[in-house]
Amino acid sequence: MSSSSSQLYNRLLNDDDDTSSDEYEEEMAVTSAMSFVVRGLFEETENTTNPIRKRVSLERDRTKANENLMKDYFVESPTYPDPNTFRRRFRMSKRLFLRIVNDLESDDSYFKQKRDARGLLGFTGIQKCTSALRVLAYGNTTDINDEYLKMSEKTTRDTLEHFTKGIIKIYGQRYLRKPTWNDLQRIYEVHQEVHGLPGMIGSIDCMHWEWFNCPTAW
């Protein structure tokens, strides 16, 4: 090989080495950049899906809420003195309600007013029973009592659970049982006297009774 040819051959080899080296460095740079971007996106997604949340503590004036409740229904001259108003809103008479409150306080310490970890007075038995009945009677959600009774959603759920279990425990054997024959006879008589419909227990067959508002398609 001539000297000129040898020089040309060596130059071509050197050019190939430089090109390969440049391509390798470029590939490594792109790979590093992509790794950095992917790692950043992963960390951003992780922080977005799992944010650090701090519990917000609300200062609820439970004592003032109890005073308002007592003034509305349970003091000597309440804001709503009509017994029918109480019965409509609590689904029972005031005498029966207070009896249930007293029985639950005697059976379950949960319904007794106690001080919390900060030394503040908690809810009274009347407040807790009112909360449970408002949920049961109206089918409200458990956060409905926050405004009037100043009771959180969790406390309302806990109160409802204690209330239902207490009612079953205290009154279940006497009232939550199958009616006896004497009970049925008494119910028959009262129902016929009040509504004029005899024999309605355990039967939906009342086709023989005329109903003014009965749908015409029937």
CA distance 137 to 134: 5
Q: Which pTM was predicted?
A: 0.60
pLDDT of residue 21: 59
**What does the pLDDT look like over 13-51, one tens digit per residue?**
455 555 555 565 666 666 665 665 566 655 655 555 556
Alpha-carbon distance of 208 to 144, in angstroms, equals: 44
To 5 degrees, how large is the angle CA 176–CA 179–CA 181? 165
- Domain ranges within the chain, ordered by starting residue: 62-175
- Give pLDDT tens digits for 180-191: 888 888 888 887
Closest CA to 163 of 137, 128, 127, 113: 128
pLDDT at 88 over 80: yes
| Burial per residue of 138-155, b for 16 or more beta-carbon CB atoms within 10 angstroms, e otherwise | eeeebebbbeebbbeeeb
CA distance 163 to 104: 8
